Structures are given as structure tokens and as C-alpha cells.
Amino acid sequence: MKLTPLADSLPASVPFVGPEAQERARGAPFAARLGANESVFGPSPRAIGAMERAAREAWMYGDPEYYTLRQALAAHHGIAAKNVVAGEGIDGLLAYLVRLLVGPGDAVVTSAGAYPTFNYHVTGFGGTLHTVPFKGDHEDPEALLKKAGDVGAKLIYLSNPDNPMGSWHDANVIADMIARIPEGCVLCLDEAYADLAPPDAVPPLNVTEDRVIRMRTFSKAHGLAGLRVGYALGHADLIGAFDKVRNHFGLGRVAQAGAVAALADLDWLAEVQARVAQSRDAIAAIAEQNGLTPLPSATNFVTVDCGSDGGFARAVLAALITQGIFVRMPGIAPLDRCIRIGCGTAADMDALRVALPKALAQAVS
């Protein structure tokens, strides 16, 4: 066996160690699964029914054109189906986007500490990553634009609302950034948390703009992380180019049926949004009761400033995990002074309420 020179040069890495792997390592399941930014509130009952019916047809491949799903997404957003592409979560679509736009040595700009799977794809296709720091716990549009101009970037990545900090920029800030994207560059605007964000965080769609592609997912508010369904919205020329590289059978029948039904169930979406808001408040209150600082969040998690450095935050996280509370944290300073706690049920919050003071005491000792 001989790998390509590029593959041979890369380290074997996993952007995230899954909770299942951690459960195997600790020899016990987690009592509260609050680290993967999933929706513990689950899928829409209508989506569950659609998936149960589709399961009887799972002997057939899914429609490779994702016709019904794309039509539903187009109608939902008030655009044409030619401006929509679906795929295996935002992760899969990021891989296709990088493959389309980034060649060996091409410059790509992102924020240090932002979503690491994007970086994984860039290096995997031979691109050169350039990073800028967060500014005030927000990604910094001005710094991203300047760096992109300096290095001649083919692609900029920005998440809004942001992971891992939960912060967000006003839609006007994002619109201004889009207007100033350098020539020959595309902005990938990751809007995984758009369904949970305040309306003023999400700029209006403009699919005539060929310098931006916007990505959404069914993994967060719709509670379908286990199906891996994401989609991108953009100019017809860029969206059409995905047919050159995408896995046309990447979404099975069950996934497509579940996503279409979830999209139509606006009552369930509203209920989940309310539960997420309630849980964000609960996490913030628990943090404050323990002398910690919760950061404002427009996502389904709350990032909590532990008030010290990364070493202390890692000790808190490790202590929570030993008590069966699965959480994660940012990986790069100064963001790593924080831990990131996902929204959960009342029982999850009760478990966190008991575990956090014990974890803090253990981290101090």
C-alpha cells in the first residue's frame, strides 16, 4: 500500500472524540449528553412517522436528485430549487465545497478556534490555512476580510451564530462583509444555528450573489443529527457545480423523508426553540450560582467562562466527565478558558446542577 504524498504527509486525526468513544473508555454511559450540540428534545413526531413509513422502503436507494427535499427547501426559503443542494450534513457539504474551490496550496481563511472539521477538509485537499483570532469572543469579519485580501484566499469560513462560543453578529455586519468579499474569493457562511438565533442575526437570502454560499442543517433545531442531512443555498452556478463531485446517493430514503417532514412541522420547531431558550436560561443560572460567567448564546449551547486559564477549564471538564456529564470546550486560547454546555432536559439540568460544584471543587484541589 502506498498513500498519495498529500495523504502520507497528514497526521491521523479526529476533529472530535465522540461521546460513545468516551463512554467506552470510562466503562459507563453518560448521565447527561450535553457536549455534541445535538437536540436532546428529539425529532418532530411527524418526522418520526415519515421515517417509520420510509423504513419499509429502505431496500431502495434514495432519490439521487433529492427532488422532493430540494423542492421543499426551495419553497421554505422562497427561492428556486436550482439554488439548493443537499448533502450529508454541513460536514459533507464543506468537503464538497473545498474540493470545488481549493487546489493544492490555495489559501483559505478561517478563525483560530472555529469549527475544526472545516480545517480538516482544507488540509485534506491540500489547501493552506490562514487564521485570525477571535475578537471579544466573536469571530472577526474585518480581520477575516483583511487576511483574505493579504493572502489571495479562495475561500473564507465564518459561522454565524458561532461555534464554539455561541456568539453572533447582527445581519447588517454580515451583509457588509458579503459586500466586501475580495475578488476571486467565496464566503462560506455556516448558519447551522440559524433556526435558534434571533431574527436580526440572519441576513436576507440573496442567491444572485455568487461570492457567498450559506449552509444549514437538520442536526440542531430539527433534532435529526443521526441522519446527517444538511443543505446549502447559493448562486445557481456554484450550487450546480456540486453535481460534479457530490455523492449522489449520500442521503438515503429515510433521511430524505425525515427531513421533508421535519421542515413542514413548524409547531414542533417552535416548541424546540422555546425549550432551548428555557434550557439556556437554566445553564446560565447554574453557572452564575457557581461563580462562573455564562456568555450570551444564540445556539443550543451556552459557553461558560470558568474565570481562569485553559488548564483550569480542562480540569473542570474532566471532573464533569468523571461524574457522567458529557461536555466539550474550545481548543485554542483564550477561548479555552471556557467550557461549552449543551441545552438539555430538566433531568439533564438537575444532573448538571449537582455535578458542577463538585467539578469546580475537584478542579481547585
Q: What is the per-residue pLDDT for 172?
A: 96
Q: What is the per-residue pLDDT for 10?
A: 86
- Reference 37, options 347, 357, 340; nearest CA is 340
Q: What pLDDT digit, counting tens, does each position of 180-213 carry?
A: 999 999 999 999 999 999 989 999 999 999 999 9
pLDDT at 277 over 90: yes
Q: What is the per-residue pLDDT for 13?
A: 80
Contact 185, 213 (CB under 8 A): no
Confidence band of 58 (pLDDT split at 50, 70, 90) = very high
3-state SS assignment for residue 169: coil
Confidence band of 134 (pLDDT split at 50, 70, 90) = very high
pLDDT at 237 over 90: yes
- Reference 273, options 299, 312, 305, 309; nearest CA is 299
Contact 261, 50 (CB under 8 A): yes
How far apart CA 166 and CA 297 sit, in angstroms, is 5
In this prediction, what percent of the chain has a pLDDT beyond 70? 100
Confidence band of 12 (pLDDT split at 50, 70, 90) = confident
pLDDT at 15 over 80: no
How far apart CA 225 and CA 300 sit, in angstroms, is 13
Q: What pLDDT digit, counting tens, does each position of 67-94 carry?
A: 999 999 999 999 999 999 999 999 999 9
Q: Hey, where are the domains in the chain?
A: 16-42+267-364, 45-264
Q: What is the average pLDDT score of the chain? A: 96
CATH of 45-264, one of 3.40.640.10, 3.30.930.10, 3.40.50.300, 3.30.590.20: 3.40.640.10
pLDDT at 55 over 80: yes
Give CATH superfamily name and number for 16-42+267-364: Aspartate Aminotransferase, domain 1 (3.90.1150.10)
Q: What is the per-residue pLDDT for 16?
A: 82
H/E element holding 108? strand 107-111
Q: What is the per-residue pLDDT for 126?
A: 95
**What's the grid cell of residue 2?**
502506498
Q: What pLDDT digit, counting tens, does each position of 316-356 carry?
A: 999 999 999 999 999 999 999 999 999 999 999 999 999 99
For 116-119, which contacts have Cβ atoms below 8 Å and span 24 or more sequence positions? 116/15, 116/16, 116/331, 117/15, 117/16, 117/91, 118/94, 118/157, 118/188, 118/190, 119/15
